[in-house]
Amino acid sequence: MDQTNPWKTTNSKVIYENPWIRLRENQVIQPDGKPGIYGLVHFKSKAVGVLAIDEAENVHLIGQYRYALDLYSWEIPEGGCPENEDPLEAAQRELKEETGFEAKNWQYLGQSHLSNSVSDEIAIYFLATGLSPGIAMPEGTEKLIHKIVPFDTALKMVLSGEITDAISVMAILHYALIKDRA
């Protein structure tokens, strides 16, 4: 099976850019040989998420209003990782910033491409254990609620659709699949 790129880009221009994203409009030859256009959103940071779980199997969740969706969202602690920052360091920073907690143990859980038909955004998520409390210091753009729930409650929130954030869903389901196998 041929897995080479069937698309040909004939022209590309930036049509919008801000500190977080760049939007390109590409003139292309489609896989069927016909001309077309393709819009691509480039994210200037990777997304990182932290599934922080304490000794009693409780999960740290963050609640915040998501402007883009116009709704309130429950999520694991997460944020952006600039291109020059190590994803683990970004995850450690986000956990401390949003919850105040620090973790002794870190484990890479996985990565995924988000909305890969129109963007190149990648999400990387980690498991954090051996937690110790501190003082949260959210950014000025964040008005957060930090709550701690049993892992089974977080899993039910995913399965019922109460948690819909992709990074949170992936991390919680990933952990649910591996936690009893370790």
Burial of 117 (0-12, 13-18, 19+ CB in 10 A): exposed
Q: Domain 45-178 class?
A: alpha beta
- Give every residue of the chain whose pLDDT is below 70, as ranges: 182
CA distance 25 to 12: 6
What is the predicted pLDDT for the residue at 98? 95
Q: Please report, for the chain, the start and end positions of each structural domain, with discontinuous segments joined by +.
A: 8-43, 45-178
Mean pLDDT in the chain? 94
What is the predicted pLDDT for the residue at 179? 83
Please state the pTM of the whole predicted model.
Answer: 0.91
Strands 21-29 and 45-52: unpaired
Strands 122-132 and 45-52: parallel
146-175 pLDDT, tens digit per residue, is 999 999 999 999 999 999 999 999 999 999
What is the predicted pLDDT for the residue at 162? 97
At 95 the three-state DSSP class reads: helix
What is the predicted pLDDT for the residue at 182? 59
Token pair 């956990």 in the structure block, residue: 95
9-40 per-residue burial string, b: 16 or more CB within 10 A, e: under 16: eeeeeeeeeeeeeebbebebeeeeeeeeeeee
CA distance 147 to 75: 10
What is the predicted pLDDT for the residue at 141? 76
